[in-house]
């Protein structure tokens, strides 16, 4: 049995139809919803992480990329877990893993897929490199490319570099989707965790333009009185 057949057998072993139905509802796969048409097998995230850990070093990058292009959500998420593991442990060239991520961005098409991979591959790889791809993604029509652009900046924020995160947040302030508002607010909060003056300077400048959801996320750790003042747009 090939390694690819072994990993797909692992997926089949953990298939759970009831959980698959619940996941399809949770990840909004209905007509017109953000995850429209996605398919689920019903594996838990711990099960997927266990599979990823077992196969990350032995499944080739071509086979991982094949999983990443699967119609099944769990295949794609596990593929991303494996890519992150390989990237962090330098099992293969980090540039190659980055390139696999970029050319398969169309398959990284739900918030859990983005959040579990973009900061750790894109954010790390681009930290000391040209970041124009993130600005291209930020201006894209595709919801997930925009979230990828925002979440990737967490790799910079962790290193106390905020310029690109703030620039991309500014680009996305006018976006209509709640999942972008949450991503923007989350990254602003992470900036504030490291330098509240930088976060507040941005909030004061754009307070009247920031969507309420983004603002709420950004203000989570603020004192109540200051949080309420921002939410009332009194800053």
- Calculate mean pLDDT across residues 43-58: 98
Which pTM does this prediction carry?
A: 0.95
Closest CA to 182 of 214, 150, 212: 214
Burial of 153 (C-beta count, 10 Å sphere; 0-12/13-18/19+): buried
pLDDT at 86: 98
230 — pLDDT class (breaks 50, 70, 90): confident
pLDDT at 122: 98
Q: Of the candidates 97, 126, 155, which is a domain's last residue? A: 126
Domain count, the chain: 2
- Calculate mean pLDDT across residues 156-169: 98
Q: What pLDDT digit, counting tens, does each position of 78-96 carry?
A: 999 999 999 999 998 999 9
Co-location of 137 and 187 in the same domain: yes
pLDDT at 235 over 90: no
For residue 39, report the phi and psi dihedrals to the nearest 5 degrees.
Answer: -115, 145
pLDDT at 56: 97
- Calculate mean pLDDT across residues 29-52: 97
Co-location of 11 and 102 in the same domain: yes
Q: Which domain holds residue 184?
A: 132-234
- Calculate mean pLDDT across residues 28-38: 96
pLDDT at 39 over 90: yes
234 — pLDDT class (breaks 50, 70, 90): low
DSSP structural state of residue 107: G
Q: What CATH number is given to the structural domain containing 206?
A: 1.25.10.90
């Amino acid at each position: 049995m090939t390694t690819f057949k072994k990993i797909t057998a692992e997926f089949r072993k953990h298939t759970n139809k009831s959980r698959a139905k619940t996941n399809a509802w949770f990840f909004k796969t209905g007509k017109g919803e953000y995850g429209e048409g996605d398919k689920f097998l019903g594996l838990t995230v711990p099960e997927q992480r266990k599979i990823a850990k077992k196969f990350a070093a032995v499944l080739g990058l071509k086979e991982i990329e094949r999983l990443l292009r699967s119609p099944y959500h769990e295949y794609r998420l596990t593929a991303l877990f494996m890519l992150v593991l390989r990237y962090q442990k330098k099992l293969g060239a980090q540039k190659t893993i980055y390139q696999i991520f970029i050319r398969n961005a169309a398959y990284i098409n739900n918030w859990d897929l983005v959040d579990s991979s973009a900061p750790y591959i894109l954010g790390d790889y681009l930290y000391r490199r040209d970041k124009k791809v993130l600005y291209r993604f930020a201006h894209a029509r595709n919801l997930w490319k925009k979230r990828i652009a925002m979440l990737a900046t967490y790799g910079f924020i962790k290193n106390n570099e905020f310029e690109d995160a703030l620039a991309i947040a500014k680009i996305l302030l006018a976006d209509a989707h709640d999942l972008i508002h949450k991503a923007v607010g989350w990254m602003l909060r992470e900036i504030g965790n490291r330098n509240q003056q930088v976060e507040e300077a941005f909030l004061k400048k754009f307070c009247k333009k920031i969507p309420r959801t983004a603002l709420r996320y950004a203000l989570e750790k603020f004192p109540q009185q200051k949080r309420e003042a921002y939410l009332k747009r009194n800053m």
